[in-house]
């Protein structure tokens, strides 16, 4: 979790987030909006985006209006305007590679990769 400089941050008048991202190998990174008004946060379900990261750094923009809960999160009775009005941080979750059909890493397999995130800007 990366906290915002002002807590809570009222981001309702803003459009989205711009950042530079890269990873040691291609992988998805989940970027979520953190707020005390996320009703399913204890289940790990928040509004956000799946952002692709590759070995070459690139600038990515995400729009608040397009923030969605994870597909496995089910229906969440939240309010995007309320979450944006009480934003407290951003959650970055790199997706683990090499998982098997059960979602686990097979014995003897690990993912020791990394991500690099820079120039985070609300616009």
Each residue's pLDDT tens digit, 51-90? 999 999 999 999 999 999 987 878 888 999 999 999 999 9
| DSSP annotation string for 83-116 | HHHTB-EEEEEEPPSS--TTSSPPTT------EE
pTM of the model: 0.91
pLDDT of residue 42: 87
Each residue's pLDDT tens digit, 83-114? 999 999 999 999 999 999 898 999 999 998 99
Q: Does the pLDDT value for residue 27 go beyond 90?
A: yes
pLDDT of residue 72: 82
Per the DSSP assignment, residues forming a β-bridge with 2 are 90
pLDDT of residue 103: 86
Average pLDDT over residues 10-29: 98
């Amino acid at each position: 979790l990366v906290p915002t400089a002002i807590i809570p941050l009222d981001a309702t008048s803003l459009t989205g987030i711009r950042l530079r991202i890269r990873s040691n190998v291609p992988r998805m990174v989940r970027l979520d909006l953190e707020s005390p008004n996320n009703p399913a946060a204890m289940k790990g379900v928040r509004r956000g985006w799946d952002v692709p990261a590759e070995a070459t750094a690139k600038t990515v923009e995400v729009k608040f209006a397009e923030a969605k809960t994870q597909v496995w999160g089910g229906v969440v009775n939240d309010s995007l305007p309320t979450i944006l009005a009480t934003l407290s941080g951003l959650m970055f979750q790199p997706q683990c590679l090499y998982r098997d059909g059960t979602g686990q890493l097979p014995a003897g397999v690990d993912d020791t990769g990394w991500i690099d995130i820079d120039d985070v800007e609300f616009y």
